[in-house]
Chain A
């Protein structure tokens, strides 16, 4: 179980990540703010408690951002950890910079190129299988978007992960309930329930509040089986910014200078 201090430290880190992302939003338009804010706590949890600060050996756990469009959230964490330099992030999406709007394999801390949805899970299945073949105990952590579950390829990978008995695969679903076109429940009512579908593909499945790392951690260690593990994390798109929360248009939109100021206040005061 996490200590109170660990939880409050995480909340503080996430505050500073939200501010840094907002700051970047004033320099470039190419941002997916809503979906980045929804997965920040999950991401912070994975990095802080499961990914070593410096890659030491081939047995280290790794992380794959399958919802590549939210990689700005990954970048600010990698910056805080010293994996990405401030100067590099300052050049995000700018000519001469190496960090783009989607993760690029070969960049520091980036284990796979994603951005086209429905690719990350199969890549993770392959990596987990390679770890099994090489008798290496490391785990692979993945964050999927809920929209990504509409890709058939995601279900192929879900099926194969179970077939290959990959207990070293842990998948977090950033279930923020909205996507580019609108609110998922309105656009695709038969998409729900999610949990039963994943369970029926032979994954151990739990549901958790994706903004509470204490709860995430508890569920993580209450795992009961050796099946691949799926955590449906209920989250809020645009979490932390009053005018963004649960507004699908903030999937891909940049705040005005006034909205930026308001956003900083929201983050500081905790809405």
Chain B
């Protein structure tokens, strides 16, 4: 029962924040990807940085249970799937979480997004055995790998021996720094072929 209450509270807060940062309006994601308005990019980078610094600092202080981390496996399909998601994201302005939330705010095109998503999930379920047989799901970097060794976990590390919590804080500060350093736009609305490129 407690977990259901937590799901309602944290999920509800997530939905409210997604709406208030503009993520339920496809305009912001599309302009972010077209590099004409980086408001959402700066928001996301700051969020990742703040969460990373607080989580790893909390772990070092013994306030956050390391066991609550859940690192996903690395395999070639992660990158291929990322390319597919990025393609659809750049066309529609939705990703799974923001598409569902946008539909809830009354956007009708997002309902079609959800219907397509349910069919896409079904297609993956139907083709899973074949996808697996191609080898794209085979682990890389030792599977559930992190950048450095996180104390109290068994996650394999790309840089073994480096302290994962301190590296996590440094990377988090890096995300925050990039959020501050990024301009509001790289590409002007009148000049879609500007030379400026994102730092990352």
A-B complex is real: no
Interface residues of B (CB under 8 A from A): none
Interface residues of A (CB under 8 A from B): none
